[in-house]
Amino acid sequence: MAIIILPKIIIINEGVNLMIRKALVCGAAAVFLLCGLINTGFAEDKKGPETITLTATGSAKPKPAVFPHKKHQETLKCTDCHHGAKDGKQVPYTEGMEIGKCESCHNAKVLAGKTKGPLKLDTLKGAGHGNCLECHKEMVKKDPALKDKKLDKCTTCHAK
């Protein structure tokens, strides 16, 4: 009788072992999937907010500019807009560089008297118009269809 029971126990153990192996494989796959999803979520966070509203602090007549950050990321590289500063001079953006608020450098204390043509870089307005508006004007020159969309007009960024 022990000979008959033993094969049944082995068969049951093999079935249990197979179930355990399947559970382990499924569990491991789930862990890898979750890690991938979590990692993707962190990568999205590093891309910044979907929309940014830029408002100059201390401005007598603030005219907030709504910046569709995610939309710009679809067609531009980070280096097209972002940069840093070292010793009062602009340095190119490098991957992983901390991106602060534009006004943390574009202010009268840090960039006193700095200009780019007629634009004052020591103000958020001057920096925004120097970077954003100039880019929009260049894009309209390259693609006349964008002129119809009024990409180079104030209301593109500043709502009335």
Same domain for 136 and 75: yes
**CA–CA distance, 92 with 157 (Å, rounded to integer):** 25
Residues 122, 140, single domain; the answer is: yes
Domain that holds residue 1: 1-46
Q: Are residues 77 and 124 in the same domain?
A: yes
Is 72 in the same domain as 107? Answer: yes
What confidence category does residue 159 fall into, taking pLDDT thresholds of 50, 70 and 90? confident
Q: What is the pLDDT of residues 53-78, one digit of tens each?
A: 999 887 888 889 999 999 999 999 99
Whether residues 147 and 122 fall in one domain = yes
Same structural domain, 126 and 144: yes
Burial 3-33, CB ≥16 within 10 A → b, else e: eeeeeeeeeeeeeeeeeeeeeeeeeeeeeee
Is 50 exceeded by the pLDDT of residue 41?
no
Rounded Cα distance, 26 and 31, in Å: 9
State how many domains the chain has.
2
Asked if residue 98 and residue 68 are part of one domain, the reply reads yes
Mean pLDDT value across residues 108-137: 90
Verdict on whether the full-model pTM lies above 0.75: no
Higher pLDDT, 9 or 159: 159
- Are 7 and 37 members of one domain? yes
CATH number of the domain at 88, please.
3.90.10
Tokens of 69: 């950050």
- Which SS3 state, helix, strand or coil, does residue 51 take? coil
- 64-68 contact pairs (CB < 8 A, 24+): 64/158, 64/159, 65/128, 65/132, 65/157, 65/158, 66/157, 66/158, 66/159, 67/132, 67/157
Q: Which long-range contacts (CB under 8 A, 24 or more apart) does 90-98 make?
A: none
Q: What residue type is assigned to position 100 of the chain?
A: G
